[in-house]
Structures are given as structure tokens and as C-alpha cells.
Structure 1
């Protein structure tokens, strides 16, 4: 998933260099991927999947991998849009399916901290692509980067085919250390803040390498390596955020993650040098998947027997933000001639997510007592 969704970030500056397309075009190409992701998330939450979700997972995962490989086989712009749409559509469905399968297993076996391992995989994919894209590009250009990552995806996808099974048992309605909240306002507040996260984070998620590449003294190679720093921070971050959330409270840690992300997004603008670029990449990488992990954990614990539906809702609004963000950022960059306005836009949007959570805190009360019953009739 880290390769399928985010390898475009270090590869698109290489494609831009060869074809001389604008940041506005790059934003549209990114947004078609997130439009597909939006539809995939909606379908993932709305479809009544069979009892065994493994076959569906394998089907859409295979289509996703094919879309990665095919990006390296064409130079036709129209095919790029089709392939990135397919990648997004299948990513959204795969994300909902794998998250619900694994989080159901985690809930059934009393292993809440293991959620960090699942989402840490995205960070691992980002780290690998950040390291390999410059290497593949050196030997064969941007097309070899897509093809090389596609081969790696085939290997990883094969492991998923062999090792992932959907073994559902009865989910207990009450578990120790679960979260519970009043639903009438809590879920909408959570959904709105998560939608703003999708809108804000994706600016860095799409343009970070290009932003750093525009800084004085950075080559295309060194700016691409900056994406590896995002992955280095993202891979273990989910586990750390889960542990901190279990100790100090999920909502408090979610607000902290948002605040740190605002700093990470802003740093390349505030400190336009190597230190600002690296620290910005680390802070951004260390928060965006942690935010996903905490948010979906809250929602999953609120509605334990309807995980696919509630994860689908959240992923849907997140995808709406992801679709709009690159278009806005690409337009601002093209109009102003720099990435400054796009960075400010992203920082303000993510800060607004903190404000929404603050307003909704009274409705997002966290109960650690197993005596609290989870109501689901209004979902």
C-alpha cells in the first residue's frame, strides 16, 4: 500500500523533468488516484462482503499490483490517468478489507497494540520506495522505477496471498481498555477532523520531494532520498502512537500528532535548508500514519461488529480530502510560482482538524471501563 499510494511522490519529479508537465498537471494526476481511492473506500464500506473476505482481498490486490507495473510500460498521459485511477480504486478497497480483517483479529485476541504493526507497513513501503527510486532511476529512468517497484509489489503481494486468512469468530461487545463514546456527535466530529487531515497531509504526501527539490543546494537524488526519511519515521511510528494512546489517551495523542504534523509540514518553508527538509520529512512521516492508526482504532472500538462500515466512512471522507488537496496545491503553486502558499494551506487545514477535535472533545469521551456498553443501532 505504501508503494501503490505514495511511490508517485518521488517518481513524479523524474517524470516532470522528462515531460516538462506543470505542477497543476501533477496535482490532477495525483487527484485522479485519490478519486479512485474515494470510490474504493465507499465501496469497501458499503458492499456486504462474504463471510470470507480473503478472495475479494486477493482479487483487488492483484489488480492494484498490475496498475503499478503498467505505469512503467506507457508514456501516454491518458493511460497514466486510467492506471492511477485503478490504483486508487483498488487501494481504497484493499485498505478497508485488510484493516477490517486484521483489526477484527486483533480485537478477538486482545492485542490492541498490534494495530501499529499493520499500519507500519505503509511506512515500510514508503521507506523502500524512497531508497529504490533513485537507484532504479540511475540505471533506467523513471520507467524502471515503476517496473522495479512493481516487481517488489508482486513479491510482497504473494506473501499476502499465502499468509492472510479471514478467520472470524464472535466479537465480544465489551473488552478491556476499549474506547467508547456517545455516537450522536462523536463520530461526526471524528469524521470531519479526519477529512481535514486527508486534505492537509496529502499536500506533503504528493509534493514533498518536489518541494525539497526546489530548495537551493538539493539535487533530484538527495530530494528523493528525503522520501526515505518519511518512511523511516512512518514505519515504527504507528506502534509508538498506539502505545502512547493506550497510556495517555487516544484523543490527547491524536491532537498531539496533528500538532506535530503541522510543524513538519511547515518546516521546509520556515527553514528552507537541509535541516528543515530532513526534520520536516521525519515529523511528517512520524505522524500521518499514526493519525490513521489512532483514528481507526477509536472508530473500530466504538463499533466493533461493524468495522468495515465505519472504516469505510472514515476512509471515504479522508479520500475526499486527498482528492481535493493536490488540485488546490497544484493550482496555488502554478499561480504563485512557489510551494509556499500550498504549504501554508496544508498547515492551516491540519490545524483546523485540531480545533474540530477540541470542540468535539466533550462528545469524544474515552471510557476505559469494560462496564460501558457499545451502542450501534444508530450507525
Structure 2
């Protein structure tokens, strides 16, 4: 009979101060997620109208070019682990940040649709690779009681990127569209330079090849393997719950409720405020009550907030929902990774493999959700309630999957 899966139980956190090296590594992780995901993905949302107005590309092509980042993100999630089987974590993370930075500069010149698509794809690839590698490269070096805090700090970059899309980008656009791309490139270059020496090296005895990592992952206990499958499904389905707000929050307020684009933009700022706080709050909650419990609580709040957007037009209700959903857009990442670490304690190689699978599943379902909701929106006469209602149902399904998995584990 196989032994049960052990998971760290939430308790009072013992003293485990972070060293300056730990803090620098966390800051480097924040820079990486800000450059390759926060800015590379979310800044483009704010740049879509100016790209169309400046006649760089037709409207349909501009939207399709945004999807190139999603495709690249999926490729990066799949390629992250193979890359570190050839080069070190440090070299790969540096290279991905440089690639994302170069993509900003390249996008300042609309040479052709193929040129722009390629660089948007490369920026997405950098984001997917960094999502898979950044936390799993840093956290094994951090004291266990402080990993939730460090995870929150790393993924704070996503929230800062969302906030920047509603604040920094409009200011840069006052100088021109090309200057905006160049400004984002300069910022990314500065962040890449600041983080350059912060990446930790390989752990002593860490697997040096993909084959070793695969054999380590093969030793996962059957109970843990089953739990991971439930986590993958739950994390992937949750993408269907997050995408409606990412796509339509501003449009819901501006056109759906008839309150204008400026009011819609103000709700995006609220979404950004939530996104800044979300990773740190979620990481802290995971440290205190356990990541599995915190994840289930996050799904419950996320589902309620999405249902509010489907059912209510009250300004205060929509504002609260925007903050809550903004918090969980980046905050769900540390919760998902933390739940994987609780399932696979003391096995960094297996954790990285599992996180790669979860990120790939999320990326795939996110892309499917984006195209699916766009089709549904166009063929339902722009029915906002239908789109957000589908998102709420998806989150409810993810919550039910978590409950079923927990029930079966206790049986």
C-alpha cells in the first residue's frame, strides 16, 4: 500500500528572514514577469486603438496580432524546460528577458504584418518561458516559510504591467506611437540590466539534464499524480473564467452600459490596482492557510465577481468586481504553483515539470477562450451577460473539480 501524499500543514510561520541575495532574486523575478508578461501582453491592449487609428494595420489584423502573443506564450511554456536542459537557468532567463526587450524595439517599426507577428510571437514565447522557469528557479533557494511572500513578489510584475497599461502607456502615447514602443523597450532594457546579476545558480545536486528530471518526475506517487491531474484541469478551466474580464471589462462599461470610454478606462485602473495587490495577498494567504485552501477561496470570490458583471450594472458593484478580478488575474499563478509545491514537497524537478504542464494547459485554454468568446460575442449581438455568465460557470466548474479532488483524496 502506498504511503499518503505529505503536504506541509499551515501553521504559525517560524522566523526565517530573507537574505539580501534572496531579496535580489525576488526582485529579478519581479522584473522578468513585468517585462515579458506584464508589459509584453497587457500594454498591447492599450495600444490596439492607437495602432488602428495610426493605420499601421487594419482593425482585424491588429486584433489577430494580439493573438500572436498567446500563441508564443504557449510555445514558451512548452519550451521552457527543454531550454534549461541545454543551458543554465540563469542563461535562459537572461536570454528570454533580452528577447522580450528586443521585441519592443522591433515593434516600433511596422515593416510588415509578418514582421510584427513574429516579434509579438517572440514576446509571448519569452513570457511563457519565464512563467514556467522564474519561480521554480528562485524558490528552491528561499526558506520554505517565506516562499509564499517571494512568489507574490515575483508575480507582482504581472499586476504592475496591468496597471502600467492604464497609466504609463497613455502618457507615452502623448509623444507618439513609435515613441511608445521605444519607451517600453528602454524600460525593459533597464529592468533587464537591473536584474542581470540577481538570478541564483543551480542548486547543488540539481538535475542537469531533461532525462534526470524526467526520471525524478516518474517517481511521483500515484496519489500525487492523480491530484496533479485535477489541478491541471482546474487551472486550465479557470482560464475561461479570467478571459472575459481581460477582454471586455472596459467595453462593458463604455458601450454595454453606455457610460463612455473615459469611465470604462477608470474601471481598468481599478482592475490594475487589484492586480498590484493580488499576488502579494495571495502569496501571504497561501503561507498562512495553505495554498490549496487559498486557491479554493480565490475561485469562490472570482466566480462571485464574474457573476456580478453578468447580472449587475451598479457602478459600485462593478468597481468591487473589477478589483477582485484584477487581484486574481495575476494572483492565481502563485496559488496554483503553491498548490503544486504542496503536492510535491522537496522535489524541485517534479515541481518544475508539473508547473510547466499547468502553465501550458492554462495557455492553451486561454487562447481557446479568447477566440471562443470573440466568436460568441460577435454572434450573440454583443451579449455581455452571456460572456460573463459563461465565465462564472467556468469558475464554478473549476471550484467543483477542486471539491471533488479533495473529497476523493479523503475517501
Into which bin does the TM-score normalised by the smaller protein fall?
Answer: 0.7 to 0.9
- Whether 2:357 is the aligned partner of 1:321: answer no
Q: What's the offset of the Cα at 1:312? A: 0.8
SS at match of 2:407: coil
Which residue of 2 is the match for residue 333 of structure 1?
377
* Residues in 2 aligned to 1:151 and 1:337: alpha-carbon distance in whole angstroms: 42
Which residue of 1 is the match for residue 348 of structure 2?
305
Tell me: higher relative CO, structure 1 or 2? Use CA pairs within 8 A at least 6 residues apart: 1
Could you list the per-position Cα deviations for residues 237-261 of structure 1 after superposition, in whole angstroms to 9, with x for gaps in the alignment? 2222222233333222212211222
Q: What's the offset of the Cα at 1:328? A: 0.8
Could you list the per-position Cα deviations for residues 145-190 of structure 1 after superposition, in whole angstroms to 9, with x for gaps in the alignment? 433323222221221213223252468xxxxxxxx99313100000
Could you list the per-position Cα deviations for residues 180-237 of structure 1 after superposition, in whole angstroms to 9, with x for gaps in the alignment? 9931310000000101112331232234333333244544344334333222212222
Q: What's the offset of the Cα at 1:17? A: 5.2
* Residues in 2 aligned to 1:364 and 1:221: alpha-carbon distance in whole angstroms: 49
Q: What's the offset of the Cα at 1:38? A: 1.0
Give RMSD over aligned pairs.
Answer: 2.8
1:80 to 116, 123, 146: 116
Which residue of 2 is the match for residue 176 of structure 1?
none
Could you list the per-position Cα deviations for residues 46-65 of structure 1 after superposition, in whole angstroms to 9, with x for gaps in the alignment? 44535731111111111112
Which residue of 2 is the match for residue 369 of structure 1?
none
Structure-2-length-normalised TM-score: 0.77
Change (3 A) 1:352 1:192: same
- Whether 2:101 is the aligned partner of 1:65: answer yes
Give ranges in structure 1 of 5+ residues lacking alignment.
172-179, 366-379
CA contact (8 A) 1:130 1:227 kept: yes
* Residues in 2 aligned to 1:133 and 1:65: alpha-carbon distance in whole angstroms: 16
Which residue of 2 is the match for residue 371 of structure 1?
none
Change (3 A) 1:270 1:38: same
- Whether 2:193 is the aligned partner of 1:158: answer yes
Could you list the per-position Cα deviations for residues 267-325 of structure 1 after superposition, in whole angstroms to 9, with x for gaps in the alignment? 34433354344323211111122221111012134333213212111111011011111
Structure-1-length-normalised TM-score: 0.83
Stretch deviating more after TM superposition (73-82 or 227-236): 73-82
Which residue of 1 is the match for residue 388 of structure 2?
343
Stretch deviating more after TM superposition (348-357 or 267-276): 267-276
Q: Superposed, which structure 2 residues align to 1:1-379 within 5 Å?
A: 1-16=37-52, 28-49=64-85, 52-74=88-110, 76-106=112-142, 111-140=147-176, 142-169=177-204, 182-216=223-257, 218-272=259-313, 274-303=315-344, 304-306=347-349, 307-340=351-384, 341-363=386-408
> How many pairs are equivalent?
355
* Residues in 2 aligned to 1:319 and 1:312: alpha-carbon distance in whole angstroms: 10
Stretch deviating more after TM superposition (354-363 or 44-53): 44-53
CA contact (8 A) 2:136 2:352 kept: yes
CA contact (8 A) 2:286 2:294 kept: yes
CA contact (8 A) 2:274 2:326 kept: yes
Which residue of 2 is the match for residue 375 of structure 1?
none
Which residue of 2 is the match for residue 373 of structure 1?
none
Q: What's the offset of the Cα at 1:88? A: 1.1
CA contact (8 A) 1:103 1:115 kept: yes
Q: What's the offset of the Cα at 1:339? A: 5.0
SS at match of 1:214: helix
SS at match of 2:110: coil
Give ranges in structure 2 of 5+ residues lacking alignment.
1-36, 207-220
